[in-house]
Each structure stands twice: as structure tokens, then as C-alpha cells.
A and B are shown apart, each in its own frame.
Chain A
Amino acid sequence: MSRSGAVIDAHHLEVTLVGPGLPSVADLRLTTTGDPDIPLEIAEVLFAPEKTNTVIVTTATTLDTKGSYQLFHQATGQWYAIAPSLIGIVISLLLAAALVQNFVFTRYLGLCVFFGVSRKRDTAIGMGVTFTIVGFCSGLLAWVLDRYVLRPLSLHFLEIIVFIGVVACLVQMTDTIMKKLHRTLHKKFGIYVVLITTNCIILAVPLLNAMNASGFWESLALALGSGLGFALALFLMSCARERADLAPVPLIFRGLPIAFILAGLFALAFLGFSGLQV
């Protein structure tokens, strides 16, 4: 059953039908995907303006604009799936993970590495790039393991240990391969690769994906978004810290203490994103 419609707002959805003709309200049965026993009440069905075979269904019940629904047309025996478009989901997840729910400033994860390598701009960029790439690979690998090994065998309880293993192996492997293939690259990024194992974000991403039972693209979006968000946080922090290093900060606040205060002010600014619908 492929996707043939989308939710427009809280009370309207748009469906492209297979055949012509306007179905009656009694002829349609709307349910939430995964919960086919409770029909949602339909108030009105109308043709969409300037589109063939497309109808606008008005519902009495409030719809979730990000939810997925099924519509059954009893006269033709046809099922229609109503879901948000994949690209929309991926973009919104990417933005959410990178900015709105930035792992560092709103979930307070990965702080040890964040404070450790944000002292200089160059190291921050190096760490950010390396982390984004490795985090993306580990997210992908963990998703495959979760979907095709852990779930079929009902081994959920092993999630944490398996994901730690995946991350550790991946990091070691990247380090070894880079050392053999590209000495210069290893010299530049080798130190960060090892540090990645101590970053909690890299473990949080597969765990979040497993908890939400995310699909392939959604998992990739979260993995990439978290990496980009971490890189952004590191970069902004390093610029600010380079400036604070030149300032006459009170002696007892030099170094890490002022970095903690800076991070707190960053988090205060990122509060503005709270409640943002993406």
C-alpha cells in the first residue's frame, strides 16, 4: 500500500483516489495506522479544487499532522495510506536533531568532549567533522543490527552492550584503516577518532532510534543531525572561548569555569527553540 495522501491540518486531509467519482461519507472508513478497530469520524468529503480524482476529507476528530492514517473505500475495496512525505520527515528530523533539540544545549549530552576540545577553533572543527562521519556510520550499523538481529531474536535487553560494542569496534577499525591508508589524515584526525568513544551522543543516537523503532531514513536523519548539531555546538563554543581567553576574566573563572558559564548562556539562548514545531 503506497502513500496516496497527506494530512493538511488538524481537521483536513487530502487523498488521491484511484477511480473517479465522489465517495459518500458512509462509504469511507478512516483509522489510525496500527489501530484499525477505532474508526475516526468523518464530517464531509469534497473534491479538491483544480485536481482530478483528489478529494478533501474533513474530519470531526482532531488529526495529528505528523501521524499516519488509513482510509478504506468500501465501494471499491481500496485502501489508501495517508502519511507525511518521507522527505518532510527526514528534513524535520534533521533540523530537530541539529538545532531545535541540539544534543549538547538542550539534552546536555556529550559534554565531556564538548568542553575538552572546544578550546581552539581548529581542534573543534576537526572533532566536529570526524564525529559527524563516525556517528553517521555507527548509527547506520546499529540500525541494521537492531532491525535484523536484535529485534527478530527478541534481544532488546542487549541493546546497550551491543551498541557500545559497535561503537568501539567501529572507532578502532576507523583508526586502524586510517593509519594504514592515509598517514596525514590519521595524524590530523586520529586523536579525535579515539576520543569519540567517550562521547555519549554516539550511544544516545542508536538507543533513541531503537526506542522509537525508527525506519531506515529516520535513523539516518537522526544520526546525521546529531553529528551536525554537535559540530555546530563545538564550533560556536570554540569561537566564543577563543574570545573569552583574550578577555580579563577574573582569575578564579579562567579556563573551564568560564566555559561552563558560556555553555549555560548558550543553553539559555537555545531555550528559544523549545516548543518549536518542525
Chain B
Amino acid sequence: MTDPLPPRLVLSPGPHLRAEMTTQQIMWWVSGALAPVYLWAVAIYGLRVIVLLVSGIGGAVAGEWLVNRLRSQAQTLSDGSAVLTGLLLVGTISPGLPAWMPAVGGFLGLVCAKMLFGGLGYNIFNPALVGRAIMMATFPVAMTTTWLTPRLGAFMGTDAVTQASPLGIMKLEGLAKATEILGMGPEYYWHLLVGLRVGSVGEVSVVLMLLGAGVLLWKRIIKWYIPLSVLAGLLLIALCSGIPLFHLLTGGLWFGAFFMATDYVTAPMMPKGQIIFGLGIGVLTGVIRIWGGYPEGICYAILMVNAVTPALNHWFRPRRPHWEGAPS
């Protein structure tokens, strides 16, 4: 019996639109857009950032590999999403953390939030942030006290100095005293903008993050709806605090708005839903920062609004186009 001829007419159900980029390409573009941010982190916090990255990415990759192996299915590591998850996770933690902790966070985040739900595309919560939230619940002291003072050229020396983060000082000391300690002049805001401040690995340099975000926007990998509405939502609450510029430039706001909240899988699909999603993240971040128990709230804010995403997708569904005289 001969093989059947290759089909000349292919019948398949929709959608027939092909995306210009594959998942793999998108993941590597996002990782590439983040590269300057991490290089800056190495420059000011030293080579230990690389150790943290290896640990976090290693944990995430191990989680995905292990679950695929246990389910005896094809490995999915080549799509690059596990590497990106590890990269993003390390961006949200303090640089002075013991090196084995990101591995635990990356592994648990990837297994609990992504692989148990069936892998890429099926997770409801952002795996990197679930990893961070688990680390925050498991190692609360290490996660909130191991900040390092930024020093240009830190990778030359080895001694690191510990200092509290700006939002931590704000939470602990109150507005009046924090203003005195931080000395909020134009110079301080300039340092916040370029990234000469105490903070998590990936969140310090607003300028470099904007550069990365610009690349992603230019390549149409992310759209502006979510990041802008996150910033607007936070501004709304920050105006009540009297120091809106400070709240806008500190914490993981830009990292979260451009690289975390825009995750395709855990964000709503339609623009209206995305705007509500973003505003919700911004407002909750501000509420947690100003009235909550944690100094920074963007991680929990994104997780909470992730929980609402399935409902938002249900409320704002794409409508089938109807035009005059269309066959019903």
C-alpha cells in the first residue's frame, strides 16, 4: 500500500491568523530587554547577583524538568518560559539574600503555580510572583532585611553594606522622619531615576527598565494598556500620601507594571479588562504601601488581581462582529 498523497486542501477550525513571533522568540526578547537592568544590578551590587540568577533560574528549570519527567511527557524547557520565570523572580528579591533561597522559590513557584495546572498557558497566577510570595512567607526576615547599599563598581570589591530600603524606612519611621533620613531633594529623586538606591535586584533603575519596556512596546510584545493603568492607579492613591513622586519612583512598580503584570497568561485578554486589571493593581499597591502591613505591595497586588482575571475575561469577551446583512 502506498502512502496517501500529501493533502492539497487543508481543512481546520479557526483561528487561522498566524502570529509573527513564536512563544520562544517572545520569551527571549523579554529576557533580552531585561539584560541591561541585570547588568546594572551586577554593576552596583556585585557578582553575587549572578549567583542569585543562576540559583533562581536553576530552581525554575529544575521544577519544569522534574514535572515533565514525572508525567513522562516531552520536555518544554526550550520555550524559554522557565528561564524567564527564574529571571523575573530574582528581579523581585533583595540582592543580599543567601544564594540557595531563590532556587527554593523558583522551584516551588514553577511547580505550584504553573506545572500542576498543566504548564505554560494554563496557570492562573504568575509563577514568579507565587515563588516570591512563598519565599516571603517562608523566609520573612531574610527577604526584608538583606538589602545592599549600591556602589558603582561593586563587582571589584567584596564587602557589602546592609541598609534598609526606602519603602521600608517609610513604613517603619513614618513620613516625617523618613523625609529627614532620605533627604528628599532633587538629587535624591535623580538617584531614584537612574537607580542608585537600595532595592530589589531588578527594580532599581527606572531609566533602564523604560529602555527595556520601550523595546517590548516597539516589538509589540506588550501593549501600553496594562502598564499605564498600573501607574495611573498607583498615582491615584499616592496623591493622598503627599509624596506621589516618591511612590512613583520607588519599589518594584515599574518592574511589576511592565514585566510582571503584562504576562499574557495571567492578564485579561481584552483592552477594557486590561485597563481594569491595571488600575486594580495600582490601587491595591498604593493601599498596601500606605495602609498595609508590608512596605511594598505590588507583588501581592498583582497576585490578587490575577485571581480576578478569569472573571474579567468572562465579563469582557470578544464579541463576534455583526454588520448589516450578515448571515446569522
- Give chain A's interface residues, CB within 8 Å of chain B: 121, 235-236, 239-240, 242-244, 247-250, 253, 258, 261-262, 264-266, 268-278
Contact = CB atoms under 8 A, between A and B. Distances in A.
Interface string B111-135: 0110011110010110000100110
Interface of B: 67, 71, 112-113, 116-119, 122, 124-125, 130, 133-134, 136-137, 284, 287-288, 291-294, 297, 299-301, 303-304, 306-308, 310-311, 314
Contacts of A264: 112
Contacts, number: 91
Contact of A269 (B117, B118, B292, B307): B307
B304 A270 contact: yes
A270 B125 CA distance: 13
A277 B122 CA distance: 35
A266 B305 CA distance: 10
21 contacts: A236-B308, A236-B310, A244-B122, A248-B119, A250-B118, A253-B116, A261-B112, A265-B112, A265-B124, A269-B125, A269-B133, A269-B306, A271-B133, A271-B300, A272-B288, A272-B292, A272-B294, A272-B304, A273-B292, A276-B291, A276-B292
A274 B137 CA distance: 12
Contacts of A249: 116-118, 122
A265 B114 CA distance: 11
Given A249-B116, A258-B117, A269 B300 contact: yes
Contacts of B303: 265, 268-269, 272
A274 B284 CA distance: 13
A248 B134 contact: no
B293 A276 contact: yes
Contacts of B297: 272
B130 A261 contact: no
B131 to A, nearest CB: 10
A266 B304 CA distance: 7
A275 B293 contact: yes
Name the prevailing secondary structure of the B interface residues: helix
B281 to A, nearest CB: 11
Nearest to B122: A247
Given A250-B118, A262-B124, A269-B133, 8 more contacts: A121-B314, A247-B122, A269-B300, A269-B303, A270-B304, A272-B297, A272-B301, A275-B294
Between B67, B117, B133, B314, the greatest number of chain A beta carbons within 10 A of the residue's beta carbon is seen for: B117
A35 to B, nearest CB: 28
Contacts of A266: 307
Name the prevailing secondary structure of the A interface residues: helix
B294 to A, nearest CB: 7
A276 B307 contact: no
A240 B307 contact: yes
A277 B291 CA distance: 6
A48 B124 CA distance: 52
Given A250-B71, A265-B125, A272-B304, A239 B310 contact: yes
Contacts of A276: 287-288, 291-293
A239 B311 contact: yes
A189 B224 CA distance: 43
A129 B293 CA distance: 31
Contact of A274 (B119, B122, B293): B293
B116 A261 contact: yes
A261 to B, nearest CB: 6
A248 B308 CA distance: 21
Contacts of B122: 243-244, 247-249
Contacts of A121: 314
A253 B115 CA distance: 11
A126 B308 CA distance: 19
B310 A271 contact: no
A266 B133 CA distance: 11
A66 B110 CA distance: 42
Given A239-B311, A244-B117, A265-B130, A271 B137 contact: yes
A239 B314 contact: yes
Nearest to B292: A276
Given A250-B71, A274-B293, A277-B291, A242 B119 contact: no
Given A247-B122, A276-B291, A268 B117 contact: no
Nearest to B136: A271
A131 to B, nearest CB: 18
Nearest to B303: A269
B292 A265 contact: no
A129 to B, nearest CB: 16
Contacts of B124: 240, 243-244, 262, 265
A125 to B, nearest CB: 11
Given A250-B71, A262-B124, A278-B291, A272 B118 contact: no
A274 B291 CA distance: 10
Between A121, A235, A250, A275, the greatest number of chain B beta carbons within 10 A of the residue's beta carbon is seen for: A250
